């Protein structure tokens, strides 16, 4: 397999090939299963670029942003595979996520995945000898563990989960650091016998644009939004429509009621789904709704979030974190499963978001906020306890402290072990 070395540009958010295979390398690895893992990897790469020449980041370091699925012996579409668990199979996925290797019998790590599925990544490690590997997906972390064992390397492996609870398949015993968003997740890791020195509360990394202060009036003008209304962003799209089928069904049932919110303006974001965007425009034209907009795919999501007062969205870990950092209050819509259920539980427990499981409940909550807009401020105050805008840079600093301090690991094909009593029942 041909691999490229990449240098990440924080200004253009693009990855460009660099012809310097012998330069020191830091690999940031995601998996193209949804968009959140890649977005988190890009945020960390941006932070590495900003810290170049400081905080232990070498001036000439090459930053590789890689999709671990590109190295697979069998190539498959991660997004389509993930979408297969968004229909009737959602409860099966929920059971798998909540109960497999999350009790006392635990997964430690090993060479299994590297030997069977990802020998190309082992070759990459052999050639590049990275200074560190930062992983935003469990597959990436496990493959990095196996490649390190097989090549006798000693780079630190940093695990960065992108949700507010952690799955059981992370390589608990063979990873060097877990960068987690809250103390709640640290409590999950301790009974799994992850050493306290290997846990840091950093937050989930987001790109710099979501953190920077924006001029709201300018952002609203950019998207042709009214300056005198509460702007509600309805995030109803992604690369594939399947994960949003139930979300969209609930939204469709609210459309006849939008006219009654005369002090609100609703912005619908269908993502890359042009057919759904056209459908919404046709419906709104037929209904002659005066307080709605439909946008095509938006590149500058940070500016759009800063233009709005409230978001209605699914409870994905990365998107909700972007809302936290952009100081955008949230209503999480729909019954959630797996990690999204954990995200919903965490955000609502802090009072950082509202949650509606049906269209009727959503309409009630919108009416409440329509009549009492000061409640939006309360959501922001509560969300500040979870907001960690410097997460990406903190992850980089924590990583660099471990470069050169990791001893080679013994080889094993698969490691299972007994942990303590789980801190949280699922």
Is 130 a residue whose pLDDT tops 80?
yes
Please state the length of the chain. 426
* Global confidence as pTM: 0.91
The rounded Cα 129 to chain-centroid distance in angstroms is: 27
> What's the confidence (pLDDT) of residue 164?
96
Lowest mean pLDDT among 13-22, 206-215, 336-345: 13-22
> What's the confidence (pLDDT) of residue 1?
32
What is the per-residue pLDDT across 267-312, written as a single tens digit (0 to 9) for each?
999 988 899 999 999 999 999 999 999 999 999 999 999 999 999 9
> What's the confidence (pLDDT) of residue 285?
95
The tokens describing 97, both together, are 């996520």
The arithmetic mean of pLDDT across residues 315-340, rounded, is 94
Is 329 a residue whose pLDDT tops 60?
yes
In angstroms, rounded to a whole number, what is the distance separating the alpha carbons of residues 391 and 202? 5
Confidence of residue 21 (pLDDT cuts 50, 70, 90): low
> What's the confidence (pLDDT) of residue 79?
64
> What's the confidence (pLDDT) of residue 54?
95
Q: Is the dihedral of CA 178, 183, 184, 186 positive or negative?
A: positive
Task: Answer with the residue of higher pLDDT: 410 or 362.
Answer: 362
Tokens 């094993």 found at: 412
Is 240 a residue whose pLDDT tops 80?
no
Task: Report the share of the chain in percent with pLDDT over 90.
Answer: 79
Confidence of residue 81 (pLDDT cuts 50, 70, 90): low
> What's the confidence (pLDDT) of residue 304?
97
The arithmetic mean of pLDDT across residues 115-143, rounded, is 96
Is 8 a residue whose pLDDT tops 60?
no
The arithmetic mean of pLDDT across residues 101-125, rounded, is 95
Confidence of residue 335 (pLDDT cuts 50, 70, 90): confident
In angstroms, rounded to a whole number, what is the distance separating the alpha carbons of residues 145 and 135? 10
> What's the confidence (pLDDT) of residue 19?
42
Is 231 a residue whose pLDDT tops 60?
yes
In angstroms, rounded to a whole number, what is the distance separating the alpha carbons of residues 351 and 270? 27
In angstroms, rounded to a whole number, what is the distance separating the alpha carbons of residues 415 and 426? 23
CA-CA distances (angstroms) from residue 240 to 90, 137, 252?
16, 20, 18
The arithmetic mean of pLDDT across residues 133-156, rounded, is 96
Radius of gyration over every alpha carbon of the chain, rounded to an integer in angstroms: 22
The tokens describing 286, both together, are 């037929």
Q: Is the dihedral of CA 20, 22, 28, 31 positive or negative?
A: positive
Confidence of residue 9 (pLDDT cuts 50, 70, 90): very low
> What's the confidence (pLDDT) of residue 11?
36
Long-range CB contacts for residues 243-246, cutoff 8 Å, separation at least 24:
243/34, 243/82, 243/83, 243/86, 243/314, 244/314, 245/86, 245/87, 246/334, 246/335
The arithmetic mean of pLDDT across residues 137-150, rounded, is 96
The arithmetic mean of pLDDT across residues 307-331, rounded, is 96
Is 16 a residue whose pLDDT tops 50?
no
Is 389 a residue whose pLDDT tops 80?
yes
Is 238 a residue whose pLDDT tops 70?
no
Confidence of residue 13 (pLDDT cuts 50, 70, 90): very low
Among 259, 273, 268, which residue's Cα sits nearest to residue 363? Answer: 259
In angstroms, rounded to a whole number, what is the distance separating the alpha carbons of residues 302 and 265? 19
N- to C-terminal Cα separation, the chain: 41
> What's the confidence (pLDDT) of residue 12?
33
> What's the confidence (pLDDT) of residue 398?
97
């Amino acid at each position: 397999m041909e691999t490229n070395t990449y240098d990440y540009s924080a200004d253009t958010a693009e990855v460009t090939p660099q012809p310097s295979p012998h330069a020191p390398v830091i690999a940031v690895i995601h998996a193209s299963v949804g968009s959140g893992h890649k977005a988190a990897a890009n945020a960390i790469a941006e932070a590495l670029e900003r810290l170049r020449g400081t905080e232990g980041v070498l001036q000439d370091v090459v930053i590789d942003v890689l999709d671990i699925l590109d190295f697979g012996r069998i190539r498959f579409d991660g997004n389509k595979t993930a979408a297969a668990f968004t229909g009737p199979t959602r409860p099966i996925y929920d059971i798998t996520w909540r109960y497999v290797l999350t009790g006392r019998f635990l997964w430690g790590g090993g060479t299994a995945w590297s030997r069977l599925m990802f020998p190309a990544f082992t070759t990459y490690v052999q050639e590049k000898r990275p200074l560190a590997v930062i992983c935003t997906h469990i597959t990436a972390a496990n493959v990095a563990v196996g490649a390190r064992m097989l090549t006798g390397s000693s780079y630190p492996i940093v695990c960065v989960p992108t949700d507010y609870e952690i799955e059981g398949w992370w390589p608990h015993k063979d990873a060097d650091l877990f960068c987690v968003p809250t103390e709640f997740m640290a409590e999950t890791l301790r009974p799994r016998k992850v050493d306290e020195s290997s846990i840091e509360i950093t937050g989930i990394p987001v790109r710099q644009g979501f953190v920077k202060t924006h001029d709201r009036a300018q952002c609203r003008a950019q998207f042709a939004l009214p300056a005198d209304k509460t702007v509600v962003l309805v995030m109803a799209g992604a690369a594939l429509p399947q994960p949003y089928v139930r979300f969209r069904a609930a939204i469709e049932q609210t459309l006849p009621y939008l006219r009654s919110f005369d002090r609100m303006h609703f912005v619908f974001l269908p993502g890359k789904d042009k057919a759904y965007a056209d459908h919404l425009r046709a419906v709104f034209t037929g209904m002659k709704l005066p307080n709605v907009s439909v946008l095509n795919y938006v590149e500058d999501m940070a500016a759009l979030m800063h233009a709005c007062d409230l978001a209605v969205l699914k409870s994905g870990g990365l998107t909700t974190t972007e809302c936290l950092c952009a100081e955008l209050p949230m209503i999480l819509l729909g019954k959630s499963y797996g990690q999204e259920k954990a995200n919903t539980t965490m955000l609502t427990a802090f009072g950082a978001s509202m949650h509606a499981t049906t269209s009727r409940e959503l309409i009630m909550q919108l009416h409440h906020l329509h009549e009492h807009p000061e409640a939006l401020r309360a959501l922001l105050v509560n969300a500040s306890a979870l907001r960690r805008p410097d997460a990406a840079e903190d992850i980089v600093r924590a990583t660099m402290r471990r470069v050169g301090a990791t001893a080679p690991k013994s080889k094993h094909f698969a490691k299972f072990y007994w942990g303590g009593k789980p801190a949280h029942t699922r």
